[in-house]
Amino acid sequence: MAAMANANADAATAKTGTTEEQEPGTRRTPVTILTGLLGAGKTTLLRGLLNGDHGRRLAVIENEFGDEKGIERLIARDQEGASVDLEDLFVELSNGCVCCAVKDDLVTTLEGLLERSNKFDQIVVETTGVADPGPLAGIFWLDEALESRIFLDGIVAVADAKNLHRHVDDPRKQAGSGVVNEAVKQLGYADRIVLNKTDLVDEEGLEAARSRVKEINALAQVHETSYSKVDPEFVLDVRGYTTISETSGHQLSALQRELLAQEPGQSAAVSEESGAAGSAAGGHKHEHEHDGECDASCESAHGRHDASITSCVVRVGSLGLNQAKLESWLGKMLWEPSGGVEIFRVKGIVNIASSDHVHILQGVHETFEIDASQEAWGSKTFPERDTRIVFIGRNLDVAALTTGLREEAAE
């Protein structure tokens, strides 16, 4: 509990740019997105969290299937399981796309909920019925300028070790099949993966599940569980998207270690620790603008996917990059991808030629930001200028990404 209070105090401090004590009621509330296929163990995990002795008061927001086909109702439950009025927030989730029409509603409603109630320290959004957590992540990873009272803490995926292969390598959902593989996508977006139901597999089966998870997502920390028993901190204190000024030196070093642990140009091993990263206060995110309706790019976020989702790390050594060019290249990669490429998650340490400071790149779905950290190149943690970017996505071609970065983003 103490850790949480401190973390929130830090966040409030960073946001106002002062070291003053936070005003009561001004702290930002973390939002956790909980994803995973039916039966993987999400409810078991939630039950454990709601009954857990971690000191956080959780609001769980889940979809309630309504009478009308395709319409679900979001309800919140507090620690005692009592449902909390969400002002009849109805959201069309049937196609998994909440990125367009309901973005503002959802955020406003959650903020309203927080205004009215000091009952919650953290919100967990369970995404049953939403195959694709990407658009939700984009919604909750809000711009500092919005003065939002909520922030995205992390995406947690629960996977069933016994059935992982059956879902992830479903022959009906392979490359070129034109069918979305939700299981792969959920793992691809995750910051933390709870590899559950380990009691139902032998060591060989577990190893196979473990390595398949790592192939898909090299960045996420993975915890193997039976009955979703995890340390609450593992899923509730991810800080996966916090701004750099909210990020401790420890976390930044963790990100550095994480990136260093990855071999260039291939699917990488899962790191020991996941660091939070982001931008300095005052940085701004680059978002793909939608105009209220589901457009073609929105369609691509939930329409046709295959199972060719992996992670890779792109390195360009000491080559100095130009921030504007890098932003423009990333915008192109994220918003106008070609050749079947789709990037879910991007995270890295970047050498911007014009700056002495280590820059951090952070992106999810169609939103990204690059900003200076307080660390300078030449420090113990960052002795040499060196760019390392991890991409998680579909049809990634590490050679093409490296060439693109070299040719289009160099100073």
Ligand X SMILES: Nc1nc2c(ncn2[C@@H]2O[C@H](COP(=O)(O)OP(=O)(O)OP(=O)(O)O)[C@@H](O)[C@H]2O)c(=O)[nH]1
CA dist 351 and 204 (Å) reads 41
Q: Which candidate, 306, 313, 381, places its Cα nearest to that of 341? A: 306
What end-to-end distance do the CA atoms of the chain give, in Å? 46
User: In this structure, are residues 74 and 66 in contact, taking their beta carbons and an 8 Å threshold?
Assistant: no
Query: What is the nearest approach in angstroms of ligand X to the Cβ of residue 42?
Result: 4
120-149 residues in contact with ligand X (CB under 6 A) are 128
Give the DSSP letter string of 242-264. --GGGS-HHHHHHHHHHHHTSPT
Residue 36 contacts ligand X per CB under 6 A? yes
Number of residues counted as binding ligand X (CB under 6 A): 17
Of the pair 232, 283, the CB lying nearest ligand X is at 232
Amino acid at 295: D
* Shortest distance, position 36 Cβ to ligand X, whole Å: 5
Query: Binding residue for ligand X (CB under 6 A) from 108, 211, 226, 403?
Result: 226
345 binds ligand X (CB under 6 A): no
Interface residue with ligand X, options 95, 117, 165, 227 (CB under 6 A):
227
Element (DSSP H or E) covering residue 212: helix 203-216
What does the chain come to in residues?
Answer: 411
Q: Report, in Å, the least distance between residue 142 CB and ligand X.
A: 27
Q: What is the dihedral of CA 296, 302, 304, 310, to 10 degrees?
A: 120
Residue 378 interacting with ligand X (CB under 6 A): no
- The residue among 43 and 355 lying less far from ligand X, judged by its C-beta, is 43
Q: How many helices (H) and strands (E) does the chain have?
A: 12, 15
Nearer to ligand X among residue 170 and residue 327 (C-beta): 170
- Residue 81, interface with ligand X (CB under 6 A)? no
Encode 91-125: b = buried (16+ Cβ within 10 Å), e = exposed. Answer: bebebbbbbbbbbeebbebbbebbeeeeebbbbbb
Token pair recorded at residue 406:
């070299």
- What's the closest the beta carbon of residue 41 comes to ligand X, in angstroms? 4
**Around Cβ 384, how many Cβ atoms within 10 Å?**
9
15 binds ligand X (CB under 6 A): no
Among positions 8, 22, 29, 44, the unique one binding ligand X when judged by CB under 6 A: 44
Among 4, 27, 41, 377, binds ligand X (CB under 6 A): 41
Q: 10 Å Cβ neighbour count for 160? A: 23
Q: Is position 43 an interface residue for ligand X (rule: CB under 6 A)?
A: yes
Which CB, 68 or 199, lies closer to ligand X? Answer: 199
Footprint (CB under 6 A) of ligand X, residues 176-215: 196-197, 199-200
Residue number, 41 or 154, with CB nearest to ligand X: 41
Amino acid at 363: G
Which residue of the chain is nearest ligand X when measured via CB?
Answer: 43
Q: How far apart are CA 259 and CA 164, in angstroms?
A: 26
Contact present, 315 and 388 (Cβ < 8 Å) = yes
- The residue range among 42-50, 98-106, 318-326, 372-380 that interacts with ligand X, by the rule CB under 6 A, is 42-50
Query: What does residue 105 show for φ and ψ, rounded to 5 degrees?
Result: -60, -45
Tell me the C-alpha distance between 29 and 8, whole Å: 8
Q: Which is nearer to ligand X, 34 or 409 (CB)?
A: 34
Which CB, 150 or 213, lies closer to ligand X? 213
Nearer to ligand X by Cβ, of 39 and 81: the residue is: 39
The residues of the shown chain that bind ligand X, judged by CB under 6 A, are 36, 38-44, 128, 158, 196-197, 199-200, 226-228
